[in-house]
């Protein structure tokens, strides 16, 4: 009993395995390949068969035409007697050729009829008198003893003088035998061809799909171990599957880069927020421990809100910087007019500049376009403009220029402010770094890190030149991309 259950279990498993196999691409490819191969072989044999049948028929017709001409010339010389003599002379030959020769009157009455002795015995060829003669005709004569054998004759007719008729016929037997042999050979080879096409198809699909199996194997390994550094082996060919393997590996590289970028973003942000968060907590703790008045408590709450706003801004900017640095930022690139960009930035800072009696001058080439994320670029420009106004004393000047070279937009933001200490210059791009000259000004020390990250994400460059007390000049070089 147990054995029967086991048997059913094995049976069920093999049915499931068969179903799974039927769904595989290798199976379908094998099926398609062998099916197409088999079908083309059948078509090829079919065409060859038709061609052979046609050429055998033409050969027989030619023979009949030759015989007709020969007997016609005999008739022209000596009438029916001459035809009969010729047939008698060629008696052996006629028999060998399986030819029928007949001369008939205008009323289709037989004057002379000769056919191989074997036909005479078995088939009633005199029946020809009952059929209206045609130039070319195919006639069937059943065996006179009721046997199933049938004689099929191809008969060619030629009119003779005075309405007489000359007919020569030939059996199709020989031709049919040849064609039958061909058909038998065809059926005989079909079995091996089918086996060969299935084996060929299986081999081909196994070979063609081996890179895909490699990819699947790599994916399984990555899912099982989480090891993103694993790479699929790339076949030595230059085909689509090699491309797919290469792309797959590139994608894996990009994913691991993004993941490590996100990891370091998280580490950096956590590290950078620790100090302000501790500060915020400290403020709240102090107020809780002291017997403060309601006004003092309210003031502390306002400070806490301001501090948390600062932290929020900081967090957002830190996230943006990290995303831009690690290529995770989505840039909505579009053609951007430099003139419009500069005008928009100035509009935002016009009031601040006027309050400080700082003049903003521009020298921007019109019709200057480049491919960039408009909002991000506006943030870059406003950060530089904000710094320029912030670090310039009343009555100073800020100048924005924009030109282009062959492949770049060149933007400068120059001020006549305090300038940057030479020892600060290498560090001003670092996150949370604030120069000595900036102590009295508001700021998070993130503006320039943001500018640099966004410019680099656009494949551009930003540099600074400054001398203490003589202002600073920031120079941006951004690729035009395909816009001019």
Out of 252, 391, 400, 478, the only residue in the binding site for ligand ADP (CB under 6 A) is: 391
The kind and range of the H/E element at 462 are strand 461-466
The CB-of-214 to ligand ADP minimum distance in angstroms stands at 48
The kind and range of the H/E element at 112 are strand 110-114
The whole-angstrom separation of Cα 415 and Cα 424 is: 17
Q: 167 vs 437, which CB is nearer to ligand ADP?
A: 437
Does residue 414 touch ligand ADP according to CB under 6 A?
no
Closest CA to 98 of 177, 191, 34, 210: 177
Q: 209 vs 464, which CB is nearer to ligand ADP?
A: 464
The kind and range of the H/E element at 399 are strand 397-404
Question: What order of strands is seen across the sheet that includes strand 99-104?
Answer: 110-114, 99-104, 165-171, 150-159, 136-142
Stretch that binds ligand ADP, among 25-33, 62-70, 236-244, 387-395 (CB under 6 A): 387-395
The CB-of-430 to ligand ADP minimum distance in angstroms stands at 8
Does residue 104 touch ligand ADP according to CB under 6 A?
no
Query: What angle in degrees, to the nearest 10, is found between the helix axes of 338-355 and 374-390?
Result: 30
The CB-of-353 to ligand ADP minimum distance in angstroms stands at 13
Stretch that binds ligand ADP, among 61-69, 267-275, 399-407, 416-424 (CB under 6 A): 416-424
The CB-of-449 to ligand ADP minimum distance in angstroms stands at 6
- Residue that is written with structure tokens 């009438």 in the block: 79
The CB-of-313 to ligand ADP minimum distance in angstroms stands at 11
Stretch that binds ligand ADP, among 108-116, 168-176, 250-258, 431-439 (CB under 6 A): 431-439
The CB-of-347 to ligand ADP minimum distance in angstroms stands at 20
Out of 437, 455, 478, 480, the only residue in the binding site for ligand ADP (CB under 6 A) is: 437
Does residue 378 touch ligand ADP according to CB under 6 A?
no
- And the tokens for 405? 């070279």
Does residue 428 touch ligand ADP according to CB under 6 A?
yes
- And the tokens for 248? 């797959």
10 Å CB burial of residue 372 (0-12, 13-18, 19+) is: buried
Does residue 444 touch ligand ADP according to CB under 6 A?
yes
Closest CA to 325 of 380, 251, 264: 264
Q: 83 vs 446, which CB is nearer to ligand ADP?
A: 446
DSSP for 228-281 reads TT--PPPPSS-SHHHHHHHHHHHHHHHHHHHHHHHHHHHHHHHHHHHHHHHHHH
**Cβ atoms within 10 Å of 191's Cβ, excluding its own:** 9
The whole-angstrom separation of Cα 84 and Cα 101 is: 9
The CB-of-222 to ligand ADP minimum distance in angstroms stands at 40
Does residue 447 touch ligand ADP according to CB under 6 A?
yes
Q: 160 vs 444, which CB is nearer to ligand ADP?
A: 444
Q: 142 vs 445, which CB is nearer to ligand ADP?
A: 445
Does residue 396 touch ligand ADP according to CB under 6 A?
no
Buried b (16+ CB within 10 A) or exposed e, 32-59: ebbeebbeebeeebeeeeeeeeeebeee
* Residue 272 near residue 318, CB atoms below 8 Å: yes
> CA separation (Å) from 14 to 8, 10, 11, 20, 31?
10, 6, 5, 10, 20
Out of 443, 456, 477, 481, the only residue in the binding site for ligand ADP (CB under 6 A) is: 443
Position with the least CB separation from ligand ADP = 435
Out of 212, 445, 468, 479, the only residue in the binding site for ligand ADP (CB under 6 A) is: 445
Out of 211, 396, 435, 460, the only residue in the binding site for ligand ADP (CB under 6 A) is: 435
Does residue 415 touch ligand ADP according to CB under 6 A?
yes
The CB-of-371 to ligand ADP minimum distance in angstroms stands at 26
Q: 374 vs 434, which CB is nearer to ligand ADP?
A: 434
Count residues contacting ligand ADP (CB under 6 A)? Answer: 23
Out of 157, 172, 387, 416, the only residue in the binding site for ligand ADP (CB under 6 A) is: 387
The CB-of-239 to ligand ADP minimum distance in angstroms stands at 51
Does residue 197 touch ligand ADP according to CB under 6 A?
no
Closest CA to 383 of 323, 448, 333, 461: 448
The CB-of-462 to ligand ADP minimum distance in angstroms stands at 11
Residue 331 backbone zone (phi > 0: left; psi -120 to 50: alpha; other: beta) = beta
CA 468 to chain centre: 59
Please report, as ranges, the residues that interact with ligand ADP according to CB under 6 A. 387-388, 391, 415, 417-420, 424, 428, 433-435, 437-438, 443-449, 472
């Amino acid at each position: 009993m147990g054995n029967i259950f086991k048997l059913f279990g094995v049976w069920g498993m093999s049915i499931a395995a068969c179903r799974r196999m039927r769904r595989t691409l290798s199976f379908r490819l094998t099926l398609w390949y062998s099916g197409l191969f088999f079908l083309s072989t059948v078509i090829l044999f079919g065409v060859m068969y038709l061609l052979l049948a046609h050429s055998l028929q033409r050969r027989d017709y030619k023979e009949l035409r030759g015989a007709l001409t020969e007997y016609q010339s005999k008739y022209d010389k000596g009438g029916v007697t001459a035809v009969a003599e010729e047939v008698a002379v060629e008696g052996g030959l006629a028999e060998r050729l399986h030819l029928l020769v007949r001369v008939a009157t205008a009323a289709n009455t037989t004057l002379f009829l000769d056919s191989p002795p074997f036909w005479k015995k078995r088939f009633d060829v005199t029946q020809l008198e009952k059929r209206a003669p045609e130039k070319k005709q195919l006639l069937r004569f059943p065996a006179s003893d009721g046997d199933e054998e049938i004689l099929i004759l191809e008969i060619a007719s030629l009119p003779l003088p005075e309405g007489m008729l000359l007919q020569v016929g030939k059996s199709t037997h020989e031709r049919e035998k040849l064609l039958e042999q061909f058909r038998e050979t065809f059926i005989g080879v079909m079995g091996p061809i089918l086996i060969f096409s299935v084996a060929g198809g299986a081999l081909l699909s196994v070979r063609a799909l081996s890179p895909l199996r490699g990819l699947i194997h790599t994916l399984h390994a990555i899912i099982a171990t989480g090891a993103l550094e694993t790479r699929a082996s790339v076949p030595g060919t230059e085909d689509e599957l090699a491309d797919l393997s290469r792309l797959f590996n590139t994608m894996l590289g990009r994913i691991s880069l993004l993941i490590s970028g996100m990891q370091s973003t998280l580490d950096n942000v956590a590290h950078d927020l620790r100090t302000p968060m501790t500060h915020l907590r400290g403020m709240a703790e102090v107020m809780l421990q002291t017997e403060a008045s309601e006004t003092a408590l309210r003031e502390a709450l306002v400070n806490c809100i301001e501090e948390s706003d600062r932290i929020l801004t900081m967090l957002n900017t830190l996230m943006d910087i990290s995303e831009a640095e690690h290529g995770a930022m989505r840039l909505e690139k579009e053609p951007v007019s430099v003139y419009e960009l500069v005008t928009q930035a100035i509009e935002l800072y016009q009031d601040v500049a006027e309050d400080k009696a700082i003049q903003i001058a521009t020298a921007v080439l019109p019709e200057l376009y480049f491919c960039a994320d408009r909002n991000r670029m506006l943030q870059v420009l406003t950060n530089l403009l904000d710094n320029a106004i912030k670090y310039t004393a009343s009555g100073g000047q800020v100048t924005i220029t924009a030109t282009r070279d062959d492949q770049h937009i060149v933007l400068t933001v120059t001020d006549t402010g305090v300038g940057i200490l030479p020892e600060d210059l290498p560090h001003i791009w670092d996150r949370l770094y604030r120069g000595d000259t900036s102590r009295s000004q508001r700021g998070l020390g993130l503006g320039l890190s943001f500018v640099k990250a966004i410019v680099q994400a656009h494949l551009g460059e930003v540099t600074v030149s400054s001398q203490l007390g003589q202002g600073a000049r920031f120079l941006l070089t951004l690729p035009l991309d395909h816009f001019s």
